[in-house]
Structure 1
Amino acid sequence: MADEVADGFVRVRLDLSYDGREFSGWAKQPSGRRTVQGEIEAALRTVTRSERNFDLTVAGRTDAGVHARGQVAHVDLPVDVWQEHREKLLRRLAGRLAHDVRVWRVAEAPAGFNARFSAIWRRYRYRVSDHPGGVDPLIRSHVLWHDWALDVDAMNAASAGLLGEHDFAAYCKKREGATTIRTLQELWWERGADGVVTGTVRADAFCHNMVRSLVGALLYVGDGHRGVEWPAKVLAAGVRDSSVHVVKAHGLTLEEVAYPADELLAARAVEARNVRTLPTGGGGGCC
């Protein structure tokens, strides 16, 4: 099992953040494009003076252009490498990594920890400006401009109909062998003093393009192109709707990943690997 660390190795947790503008997503790519995983693994190999690569496992793979403030990953290092470098590893990584990716904490992980499977939820925020003049140039790389005035109350009313455990196939890019059943725990919008509208979305996990598809649907409600009930109807239909647009990546930031108490980490990892189904006749497809 992936949570059983091999003899002679120690599992290390890394807490990190990055500006996604110049990255082709998190995951390494055979094309050689710049990725967050590739950058950090290369830096680890260099600062530990290792000939081999140490593979990272991440809490949530982010797409090209998506940012992260509270990303979590783990890596299994040989015990002797960890003992030799643990005290200076953080500072050496800071000196090696480019300025658009930072590792903030490096620590030996508790038993049973898996950055991906032990997580109990992930929280994202999506930021939008509907100011007729556009987006403040100083925050343009993290805020989407929507050229229609947004009704935040309508967006919140529509969001309420999406909460709970459902099959989110209508809002996900289907991947072979992967389930689209998720539990959406939190989804709400607020307008800040600066006029930026921020959507907060939290779930046990997300399928591919889920957050950006949900945002796309809710923006249509906010600007009056669709009624409050429309996003829930799309969800109930269970198929992709051509009217649901996947909004641009740069407005999205992974803010936080949460884990249970140390003694529950291993059990959570096992649970997260189970193939999910909805109760027969249950509420997975209804609004």
Structure 2
Amino acid sequence: MSDEVEPGFLRVRLDLSYDGKEFSGWAKQAGGRRTVQGEIEDALRTVTRSSRTYELTVAGRTDAGVHARGQVAHVDLPVELWAEHREKLLKRLAGRLDRDVRIWRVTEAPAGFNARFSAIWRRYAYRVTDAPGGVDPLLRGHVLWHDWPLDVEAMNEAAGRLTGEHDFAAYCKKREGATTIRTLQRFSWERDATGIVTATVRADAFCHNMVRSLVGALLFVGDGHRPVEWPAQVLAAGVRDSAVHVVRPHGLTLEEVGYPADELLAARNREARNKRSLPGSAGGVDGCC
């Protein structure tokens, strides 16, 4: 699959963040729902006085209500348009966009860069508190309240059994034509001085609802409703378990996206599009995002 930039165009990288509360997710939708992609594309068209919409490609499509601190996207723009607007584009976008979405950097992307397919990992954080009094009102839009005491040590023991390359079908909402094989590079839990427990989840890519399902399973371990072996048993079964709850989206934030060195971007771009399967399986489809 080719990812060549059209003649007369160049690729621009955007680093951005947003509060997902009022968005129906990243991707544009029919029916006029407010989305991050739609907001940015409209703002870009307006500030550059363009007659057409230039479509964004994003590192990770977030669901409705999910936040992002370190999201990355790219857009292909005509060379002349970029030359005319590049110096003032960032400030003009800041003046046009609502305050719940910010673009922090707009730069010409290196050769071979693709915000989605060049990424080698995405890191999410899910924040929860088990404080008897509930969530700090100033944090209520970003922290889940769990009404049971949590054993972080048990949660870390269970999480460690899920890392590595696996078929995460048991923790994903299946999408037609998409594989559920992922490499979970890190899954850990830490309680800070304020009592907030943060799950750090890093993988080469995630399938739909994967992070929120993993968190839901581990909360059941943390509060003693399930043994530490249970999440790995669910994973091995390979089918959705009705006992695994998809936790609410507001506790989830995309924190960072990782990319290789510039000279490896094109190779990673090609590799991420390859069909993916586990050893001994029948084969899958593209393994990204």
Two-structure CA RMSD over aligned residues (Å): 0.7
> What SS class does the counterpart of residue 226 from structure 2 fall into?
coil
- Distance (Å, rounded) in 2 between the aligned partners of 1:3 and 1:118: 11
The offset of 1:275, in angstroms, is 1.4
Q: Deviations over 1:40-64 (max 9, x none)?
A: 0000000000010000000000000
> What SS class does the counterpart of residue 257 from structure 1 fall into?
strand
- Distance (Å, rounded) in 1 between the aligned partners of 2:249 and 2:224: 23
The 5-angstrom pairing of residues 29-68 of structure 1 reads 29-68=29-68
* Identity value in percent: 81
1:140 is aligned with what amino acid?
R
> What SS class does the counterpart of residue 104 from structure 1 fall into?
strand
2:244 is aligned with what amino acid?
V
Q: 1:161 and 2:161 equivalent?
A: yes
Partner of 1:106: 106
> What SS class does the counterpart of residue 220 from structure 2 fall into?
helix
> Runs of 5+ in structure 2 lacking a partner?
282-289
1:238 is aligned with what amino acid?
G
- The answer to whether the 8 Å contact 1:13/1:73 transfers is yes
Runs of 4+ in 1 over 2 A off after TM superposition: none
- The answer to whether the 8 Å contact 1:3/1:113 transfers is no
The 5-angstrom pairing of residues 201-280 of structure 1 reads 201-280=201-280
Q: 1:70 and 2:78 equivalent?
A: no
Q: Deviations over 1:145-177 (max 9, x none)?
A: 000000000000000000000000000000000
1:101 is aligned with what amino acid?
V
The offset of 1:31, in angstroms, is 1.2
> What SS class does the counterpart of residue 149 from structure 1 fall into?
coil
Q: 1:172 and 2:172 equivalent?
A: yes
> What SS class does the counterpart of residue 83 from structure 2 fall into?
helix
Alignment size in residue pairs: 281
1:50 is aligned with what amino acid?
S
- The answer to whether the 8 Å contact 1:159/1:218 transfers is yes
Q: Deviations over 1:162-197 (max 9, x none)?
A: 000000000000000000000000000000000000
Partner of 1:284: none
- The answer to whether the 8 Å contact 1:128/1:198 transfers is yes
> What SS class does the counterpart of residue 234 from structure 1 fall into?
helix
- Distance (Å, rounded) in 2 between the aligned partners of 1:36 and 1:209: 18
More displaced stretch, 267-276 vs 35-44:
267-276
The 5-angstrom pairing of residues 89-128 of structure 1 reads 89-128=89-128
- Distance (Å, rounded) in 2 between the aligned partners of 1:31 and 1:265: 36
1:110 is aligned with what amino acid?
P
- Distance (Å, rounded) in 2 between the aligned partners of 1:15 and 1:2: 24
- Distance (Å, rounded) in 1 between the aligned partners of 2:229 and 2:155: 10
- The answer to whether the 8 Å contact 1:37/1:56 transfers is yes
> Runs of 5+ in structure 1 lacking a partner?
282-287
TM-score (norm 2): 0.96
- The answer to whether the 8 Å contact 1:3/1:266 transfers is no
- Distance (Å, rounded) in 2 between the aligned partners of 1:240 and 1:2: 35
Q: 1:190 and 2:185 equivalent?
A: no
Partner of 2:152: 152
